[in-house]
Structure 1
Amino acid sequence: MTPEYRIETENQIREYFKSYDDIKEIVNIKCEETFNDLDVVVNVWNVKTEDEAYWVVEGETAPMNLYTQRAHYFSADEAYSFHMGITQRLSKRYQNDFKHIIDEIPLDIGHLKSINRKLNMASEKLSIDLESEEFQSIGLLCRESLIDLSKELCERNPELIKEKGLKKSDFKGVANAFIDLYIPGNQNSDLRNYSRKLVDSAWSYNSMVVHSQNKKYPDAKIALLFTSSIISLLENLFFKYIGFDQELACPECGSLQMEFIEFEKDKLKQVCRKCEHEEILNLEEQ
């Protein structure tokens, strides 16, 4: 243990103890024992306060926690054993409950098979223990996902692509063309502007991750989140385009919680579940 590490850890322990209102002032701190039998360096500190004695267990990769000496943990070894046991259980629980990074945002891309597969592959690959070139490969997978999205959009409307003179691999050009198609009009000008910025950010950031050897875990995660966000964005712009945001609203209270009940032949009763306003719709006139 270096002197710098010792001083820094002692200060951290003092700050840690301040978070407990019922623990009195520390009068002495010393490192009692260091363990490395699990290939992780873990230190057990003997901490004396004005009226109590504690074991504090910590390490560079182990979370800090304290254990009272008087009631339960009589030796540094006991405190260490309990601490590592509970942290390993928590680690196992984390692995069991692990969700992909792309689960952090709501995606509507289940039907986009190749894109979904690449994003899941990148998410499963993402780990803090990766080397820099492996982070670059995640950026490459993200960029390939955007190109796949571009190809998917081109298949949806080849006439638009031909009219604009775009190539399938031109993600930014294709994405911006579909943004203009999906959300036209002055009322959508702000959304178009924000969407174009996100398109540019996703592509540019992924390219930066691909070409840089200095990127780390957060950079690769941000690239994956950018990619997932822009794919989900374009799918939801498509939903707007086909009218998913045109739900009938109650003419009385404006609520969208509408229910339709068959009333007579060619007639429906529109009932608001919020204010109970009713209105008859003649299907022949719709």
Structure 2
Amino acid sequence: MTPEYRIDVEQRIESYLAGNDVNGIKYMQVEQTFDELGIEIYVWNIKTNDGNWWVVEGEAVPMNLYTQNEFYFSADEAYSFHLGITQRRQAQHHQDFKHVIDEVPLDIEHIKSISRRLNNAALELNNVSGPEDIQSIGLTCRESLIELAGVLAQDNPDILKESDLKTADFKGISKAVISLYAPGKSNSKLRKRCRDLVEGAWDHSSEVVHSPNKNIPDAKICLLFTCSAVSVIQNLFLKYLGFDDEPKCPECKSMDYELFAHDNTEKMVLSCNACGHKEMTAEKI
């Protein structure tokens, strides 16, 4: 432990104790040092006006406070207990990443292989053991985007000719498709946001692939960007088909309604379940 580190950690311990309503430090000394995990973890013996405490801390290790008056009688026992908590936190951290794709409404039955790729990559987050595993997830994301570009080009063959694009040019194809699916002045802001998203998804996946310094959150962000890009383009397609023309109650704008046939006419009655408003509407909705 360097003198600089000692001064810094003593200040942090004092602040940490104060935050836990422990005041009046009378004695503060490192009782024992452990390095079983390849990093040094220190158990501090702290005596205060409010009792005696163990404080366990180290670089890249969360600081925690344990009383000496109850269960944790020795520095070794405090360290063992702290190590168990840290390992459980890490295990929970990995479990939280397991279903990362659930955070994005991903409905891509049209391209099941992309769905399968991304779900497998999400599961691989539980088994990361080195930089190459992070890079592999980035590669999966990039390959998924390239595959999506191929599907979009196949569904819209004129785009390649009109814009002089290659089938693997995800950024170019996706931007052209966004212009096609969200045309007009009213969608100008939406187009810009969607273009920024797909460009960010591609750029971030490329960074993850080529950098050995990325970590698990970077891989998760990469997956989220990729899933979001796929989902956004699909929902733009639904918007393009007219799914955003769902009727609404003219009074309260609710979309919770029922349609009834009007007696002796071919028209329908829209009955709002939210406000009770009823109105004659066209034959077809």
For Structure 1 versus Structure 2, the TM-score category normalised by the shorter chain is 0.7 to 0.9
Q: Which residue of 1 aligns with 2:136?
A: 137
CA offset at residue 38 of structure 1? Answer: 6.5
Residue 176 (structure 2) aligns with: 177
1:16 alignment partner in structure 2:
16
Q: Deviations over 1:21-71 (max 9, x none)?
A: x32132221111223457664322111112311111223354221111123
8 Å contact kept, 2:118–2:223: yes
Contact 2:98 2:122 in 1 (8 A): no
Structure 2 residue aligned with 1:152: 151
Tell me the residue number matched to 2:273: 273
1:138-181 alpha-carbon deviations (Å, 9 max, x no partner): 33222211111111112323344444443321212211221111
Matches of 1:214 and 1:43 in 2, distance apart? 27
AA matched with 1:11: Q
CA contact (8 A) 2:97 2:220 kept: no
- Which structure 1 segments of 5+ residues have no match? none
Query: Distance between the aligned counterparts of 1:170 and 1:107, measured in 2?
Result: 22
The residue correspondences of 1:83-232 to structure 2 (distance < 5 A) are 83-96=82-95, 98-126=97-125, 129-131=129-131, 133-232=132-231
Q: Which amino acid aligns with 1:55?
A: W
- 2:159 touches 2:173 (CA, 8 Å); kept in 1? no
Counterpart of 1:250 in structure 2 is: 249
Q: Could you tell me how far apart the structure 2 residues matched to 1:192 and 1:237 are?
A: 10
Given residue 116 of structure 1, which amino acid in structure 2 is its aligned partner? S
Cα 1:152–1:96, aligned 2, differ >3 Å: closer, same or farther? same
C-alpha displacement of 1:200: 2.8
Contact 2:258 2:273 in 1 (8 A): yes
**Contact 1:33/1:76 (<8 A) preserved:** yes
User: Structure 1 residues 146, 77: CA separation in 2 closer, same or farther (over 3 Å shift)?
Assistant: same
Q: Which amino acid aligns with 2:122?
A: S
TM-score relative to the length of structure 1? 0.83
Instruction: Point out where structure 2 has 5 or more consecutive residues left out of the alignment.
Output: none
Measure the CA separation in 1 of the matches of 2:213 and 2:87: 31
Aligned partner letter, 2:150: K
8 Å CA contact 1:108–1:236 kept in 2: the answer is no
Q: Which amino acid aligns with 1:14?
A: E
What is the aligned partner in structure 2 of residue 72 from structure 1? 71
The separation in 2 between residues aligned to 1:70 and 1:135, in whole angstroms, is 44
Q: How many residues align?
A: 283
Aligned-partner Cα distance in 2 for 1:14–1:75: 21
Change (3 A) 1:63 1:204: closer
Identity fraction in percent: 52
Contact 1:143 1:206 in 2 (8 A): yes
Cross-structure match for 1:5: 5
Separation (CA, whole Å) in 2 of partners of 1:252 and 1:31: 70
Q: Deviations over 1:195-229 (max 9, x none)?
A: 22333333233334434455454544443333222
Partner of 2:253, secondary structure, is coil
Change (3 A) 1:208 1:255: same
Question: In the superposition, relative to structure 1, how do residues 98 and 163 fare at CA in structure 2: closer, same or farther (>3 Å)?
Answer: closer
Give SS of 1:276's match.
coil
Give the equivalent residue in structure 1 for 2:259.
Answer: 260
Task: Tell me, yes or no, if the aligned pair for 1:175 and 1:199 is still in contact at 8 Å.
Answer: yes
Residues 109, 54 of structure 1: alpha-carbon distance in 2 compared, 3 angstrom cutoff: same
CA RMSD, 1 decimal? 3.0
Q: Distance in 2 between matches of 1:236 and 1:268?
A: 29
